[in-house]
Amino acid sequence: MKHAIVFGGTGMLAGATKWLINNADHISVIGRNKHRLEQLYPGHDNSDLRLVALDYKDNEALSHFLRKTIQTYGPIDLIVSWIHSIASDAIPIILDELTHQKRPWRFFHIKGSSDDLPSILGEYTVPWNCLYRDVQLGFKIEEDVSRWLTHEEISNGVISAIHYDKKQTIVGTLYPWSTRP
């Protein structure tokens, strides 16, 4: 990967973000909290890594960031997105801004266990050059007891989805829904 962007990669996706830092030529990690961004890679001096404090609910700032980063670092190959529903315009803006790229790019959309893929995809127009990848987070059942996924399990599931370029990945299980924690 030459150019990757991660939205929301400082919490439960921190492990996947660190893996991407080591596997992309250039990476921008976008987070709303500057302190958490700095904790991700303290004292970094890697010029191929940008830690960007940006509120992706700010539509103009998001559009400007995407245009500027493409202009500066070239086309984007991969976006990993853990964007909460409070930023309802963020994903359509990302998809729209990258529709102008002349080559395909991969969009890994991380979602919670209760998100419904058909209804989500119905909300967005996925451009011709976007290879949409769905990563849905579930839960684990161990010895008849259910629990939520750990950050490590989530990151490893996302890494696997990226590495194997899976169109749909379920990390953990979603069934039976009635047994979730």
Say what the pLDDT of residue 127 is. 87
- 106 vs 109: CA distance, rounded Å: 10
Which residue type, as a one-letter code, is found at position 71? Q
> Residues 6 or more apart from 176 whose CB is under 8 A from it?
none
What pLDDT score does 155 carry? 95
Residue 123 confidence (pLDDT): 66
Give pLDDT tens digits along the chain (181 positions): 689 999 988 888 989 988 998 888 888 888 887 888 877 776 556 667 788 888 888 999 999 999 999 998 889 999 999 887 777 889 999 999 999 888 999 999 998 866 554 544 456 778 889 999 999 999 999 988 999 999 999 999 999 999 999 999 999 998 887 888 8
**In terms of Cα–Cα distance, which of 54, 40, 4, 50 is closest to 24?**
4
Predicted local confidence at residue 159, as pLDDT: 96
What pLDDT was estimated at residue 131? 94
Listing from the earlier edge strand, what are the strands of the sheet with 26-31? 49-53, 26-31, 3-7, 78-81, 105-111, 130-137, 168-171
For residues 7 and 56, the answer to whether their CB atoms sit within 8 Å is yes
Q: What gap in Å lies between CA 10 and CA 8, rounded to an integer?
A: 6
| Distance between first and last Cα of the chain | 37
Q: What is the CATH number of domain 3-179?
A: 3.40.50.720
β-partners of residue 31 are 53
